[in-house]
Amino acid sequence: MSTEENPNNFQDEITEAVYKNFEQISQAYYQELDEYSNLKKLTDSPHEIVFDVTATVLEENLKGEIVGTKEISTQKYYIPVPINQDYDVFMQTFFSHIHNCLGDAASKANNKKNNE
């Protein structure tokens, strides 16, 4: 019997797909929580911001469409934050530094490649 003849079958398929998707999302969520619950403080500051930076390569085909990804590195950075200080100032300073360094690093890598 096709789904046209039995609409309940179609609803069951949708329900099953939703539950499967929900299970995958919840497993990823709890895995992420577990990773962060195992973090250790690295400084004696009462507060730390932890930045989790992941480098991913995007692979394109000739049409410019992304056809794959590959995670190549994951690194955590810790920034101590004193009591009664604005987290945002520390966070924005970190982002500004990373932004400036990315351009510089790309330039140095291109120069190094051209000199080989």
| Residue pLDDT, tens place only, 5-37 | 555 665 666 556 555 555 555 555 445 545 556
Tell me the per-residue pLDDT of 76-116, one tens digit each, with 9 for 90 and over: 888 888 888 888 999 999 899 888 888 888 888 888 778 87
Asked whether 76 and 51 are in contact (CB, 8 A), the reply is yes
Give CA angle at 101 (46, 91), nearest 5°. 30
Positive or negative, the CA dihedral 79, 83, 87, 92 is negative
pTM of the model: 0.52
**What is the domain partition of the chain in residue ranges?**
1-38
Query: Which among 104, 54, 100 has a CA at the least distance from the CA of 74?
Result: 54
